[in-house]
Amino acid sequence: MKTDQNTRFLISELHVRGQIVQLEHSYQGVLANADYPPAVAELLGQALAAVSALGSIIKLRGSIIMQAQGDGPLHTLVVQANNAGEIRGLAHGYEALNEESKFSELLGAGRLVMTVDAQGGKRYQGIVQLEGEQLSDILGTYFEQSEQLKTSILLAANNRRATCFLLQQLPGRGGENPHESWQHAKILSDTLTEPELLELDVEQILHRLFHQQEVQVYKPVPLTFRCRCSREKVIPAIVQMGHKEAMRLVEEQGKIAANCEFCNQAHHFDRIDVAGLFKAHAKAPARPQ
């Protein structure tokens, strides 16, 4: 079974398009950075698979960030994907959870924020409430409100793999009865079980559902876990705290340490590093107001 890829497909007869995202190594790369309880790991896997699919629907170069914030013990869940197929994610507030916690118990009441950061500085944002028994319910509401296209999302994850099956009606009327076509396609897709989502490959899933239709399958897009943190991205925060405060921290701690929460990589700045940063900052030309 090939994994860590996003495979798009088109069924013109039913006037629908879809995607199948299958994660394994990239999902494990995210889980390796924290000791997540099973319920949190599975929710994180579902979110990673979903954001990977959503990133390719939005035809913009840049990244899409999905952030769920609630009043439950799992107060923050953040996942990100970009147009290069790079994904990352994390969760906060899972220390008091038990292994059998349900989705509604994890996040409680709150909101899901979808942010698209497009190259060139453009930012788009959509917000929906955390109302539903599963993450797929909330994402369905998001699409209903923002895209205004009929969309069905199936998500599954275990301790090894995470999968998203997304089906969407094509824009425009299409066909003699687009409503019946959509209902037929959705009824078929809803028969997929979680074990099938996690264990079958793309060809098997599509044959299992749509063997009576002609399905056009596009070349899969590879997906990988990659964090874009760097020492250079930490420097502005150090400069912003000011020379006096930065040197005080170095005196107290021996260095300034910045740990990336997405990948656990540590960036250290000693006395010489900090002195060099402020020397370079002092020489840099002032930006026009």
Determine the pLDDT at residue 284: 55
Measured N-to-C along each axis, helices 135-146 and 38-57 cross at an angle, to the nearest 10 degrees, of 20
* Domain parsing of the chain, residue ranges: 5-225, 231-283
Residue with tokens 């944002």: 125
Q: Is the pLDDT of residue 242 over 90?
A: no
Determine the pLDDT at residue 229: 67
What phi and psi, each to the nearest 5 degrees, are found at residue 181?
-60, -45
Q: Is the pLDDT of residue 286 over 60?
A: no
- pLDDT range class, residue 288, cuts 50, 70, 90: very low
Q: In the CATH scheme, what is the code of domain 5-225?
A: 3.55.30.10
Mean pLDDT of 95-118: 79
DSSP H helices, the chain, are: 25-31, 38-57, 103-107, 135-146, 178-189, 194-199, 202-210, 231-241, 243-253, 271-283
Is 231-283 in CATH node 3.90.1280.10?
yes
The SS3 call for residue 12 is helix
CA gap 252, 255 in Å, rounded: 8
Which of 43-47, 79-83, 96-100, 168-172 has the highest mean predicted lDDT (pLDDT)? 43-47
Contact 251, 242 (CB under 8 A): no
Residues 124-135: pLDDT tens digits? 888 999 988 899
- pLDDT range class, residue 58, cuts 50, 70, 90: low
Tokens of 254: 């021996």
Residues 89-98: pLDDT tens digits? 988 877 666 6
